[in-house]
Amino acid sequence: MNLLDDRERLLAQIRAQMNQKRYDHTLGVAASAIELAQRYGADPEQAELAALLHDYCKCWPVEKMREVLVRHDLPQELIEGDKELWHAFAGAIVIQQELGVTDPAILNAVRYHTTGRKEMTLLEKVICVADYIEPNRSFPGVEEIRERSKHDLDHALAFALGGTITHLIERGKPVYPLTLLAYNDLVRKGGNG
């Protein structure tokens, strides 16, 4: 069964998890993800589904997210770390359990959409970059990421993650190790200059 076959039902289920702004963002990420998938040769259906589900838990109460992470034995480093990261890891578990998503490529694209990781798959990169560039986004540097994303996905993602790392450091916040691993991996392979 493909969840996209009953799109109306899927969208209603997603809409019920979040506020209007997050839902608009979700639809924006789906549109950007399809475009990137077409440009770089990822499967557009996988990209659309992963994008629609990527922030499934974003608006959940933190206690509900924490419970999912604890129940599934996720690393202490994550549970003690920034709550902003929880929705991605909880989301990958919840969409499997509540919606029956089984495709590991989609589950990993949701799981790593915030932090990234070393050796990201094409689909993971597509979702991560789409999350940064979707039409509703506006933050310093977004135009540069959009421009880079038209030519080189790795280059776009390295720049985007670099911006997030800088932003975190400027605010005295910790950087989750996976984000550094993702950034280093992309820069080593293709550069960020």
Which entry of ligand DGI, Fe ion, none binds 153, CB below 5 to 8 A by partner kind?
Answer: none
> Considering the complex, what minimum distance in angstroms separates the CB of residue 54 from ligand DGI?
7
Considering the rule CB under 5 A, would residue 124 count as an interface residue with Fe ion?
no
Kindly report the backbone phi and psi dihedral angles of residue 19, in degrees, each rounded to the nearest multiple of 5, phi listed first: -85, 170
Q: Does 82 bind ligand DGI (CB under 6 A)?
A: yes
Q: Quick check: 131 binds Fe ion (CB under 5 A)?
A: yes
Of 134, 135, 125, whose CA–CA distance to 161 is shortest? 125
The answer to the question of residue 55 lying near ligand DGI (CB under 6 A) is yes
Long-range Cβ pairs for the range 129-133 (8 Å, 24+)? 129/32, 129/36, 129/153, 129/156, 129/157, 129/160, 130/29, 130/30, 130/32, 130/33, 130/35, 130/36, 130/47, 130/51, 131/29, 131/54, 132/156, 132/160, 133/32
Would you say 118 and 187 are in contact if contact means Cβ atoms under 8 Å apart?
no
**Which partner in Fe ion, ligand DGI, none is near 185 (CB below 5 to 8 A by kind)?**
none
Looking at the Cβ atoms of 88 and 101, the one nearer to ligand DGI is 88
55 forms part of the interface with Fe ion (CB under 5 A)? yes
CB of 99 to ligand DGI, least distance (A): 18
By beta carbon distance, the residue nearest ligand DGI is 176
Residues 115-174 that bind ligand DGI (CB under 6 A): 115, 131, 164, 168
Tell me whether residue 57 or residue 186 sits nearer to Fe ion (CB atom): 57
Binding site for ligand DGI (CB under 6 A): 25, 55, 58, 82, 84-85, 88, 113-115, 131, 164, 168, 175-176, 179
